[in-house]
A and B are shown apart, each in its own frame.
Chain A
Amino acid sequence: MERLIEIVDGSPLDLMTYHTFLQHVESGATTTFLGSVRDKNEGKSVSLLRFEAYEALAIKEMRRLADEAAAKWAIHKLVMVHATGDKVLGDPVVFIGVSTKHRAAAFEACRFLIDELKKQVPIWKKEFYANGSSWINAHP
């Protein structure tokens, strides 16, 4: 399995590069998940998200999750990328992608990777509103 795993600090996520990376002649299915900054959370209007990561451990944990996924599903290509720094409404912040022979494995592996990233990878976000800010302490 070929993989592209990184934390991107500051610059925009290069979505085209990730989609191109996922192409594989033996893959009939590619599933991707893109997480973006949305305008509201728990009734508050969000203007900005600030992401912070413990990068060395985050990369290590993402590699471990990729290994776990590879043990469960026959994945040809895998992408896990998370942004850090300040992101405004609509900005992409996390990209997960997998290429597999058939679609069922691609859907399942993609779901597994984003769910586990939220639980197990040391990344934090702070929401900014018109009046104040707060660190988010959950991974729904």
Chain B
Amino acid sequence: MTAKKHISISLFGALKEDLGGKSQMQFQLTEGTTSISVKELLETLVLLYPEVKYLPVCKVAANLDVVTDDSMIKAGDELVLMPPFAGG
């Protein structure tokens, strides 16, 4: 079985809309790596999509927990990118 080399990312709200309207995207890990920190992943996405204004301020959830910048995300993990909350 081939090892997964990508991270699945679910998108909500303005981020979903600004990243093409799809509720999911995949982040390909660099060849030879199996994990990446949340900070590195967000920095890479900001470079790839500089026009998406909520990327630098979004919160990230993994496995139903909000995670911090230094959390490590492994290939096969499912992430959720969340723009600033606005309930109520």
Is B32 in the interface zone, CB < 8 Å from A? no
Residues of A bordering B, CB below 8 Å: 35, 51-54, 56-58, 60, 82, 93-94, 114, 117-126, 135-139
State the main secondary structure of chain A at its contact with B: mixed
List residues of chain B with CB within 8 A of the CB of A137. Answer: 14, 54, 83-84, 86
Contact A123 B64 (CB under 8 A): no
Give the interface centre of B83, B87, B88 by most chain A CB atoms within 10 Å. Answer: B87
Contact B88 A118 (CB under 8 A): yes
Assuming A124-B13, A126-B13, A137-B54, is B82 touching A54 (CB within 8 A)?
A: yes
Selected from A52, A60, A93, the residue in CB contact (under 8 A) with B13 is A52
What's the Cα separation between A121 and B66 when bound, in Å? 11
Assuming A57-B61, A122-B82, A137-B54, is B87 touching A94 (CB within 8 A)?
A: yes
Is B17 in the interface zone, CB < 8 Å from A? yes
Contact A123 B85 (CB under 8 A): yes
What's the Cα separation between A124 and B84 when bound, in Å? 8
Is B80 in the interface zone, CB < 8 Å from A? yes
Contact B61 A125 (CB under 8 A): no
Beyond A93-B88, A125-B87, 6 additional pairs, beta carbon < 8 A? A35-B88, A57-B64, A60-B64, A135-B86, A137-B14, A139-B86
What's the Cα separation between A119 and B86 when bound, in Å? 7
Assuming A56-B64, A57-B64, A137-B54, is B85 touching A120 (CB within 8 A)?
A: yes
Contact A124 B88 (CB under 8 A): no
Assuming A57-B61, A57-B64, is B87 touching A118 (CB within 8 A)?
A: yes
What's the Cα separation between A54 and B54 when bound, in Å? 17
Contact A57 B86 (CB under 8 A): no
Interface residues of B in 34-86 (CB under 8 A from A): 54, 59, 61, 64, 66, 80, 82-86
List residues of chain B with CB within 8 A of the CB of A58. Answer: 87
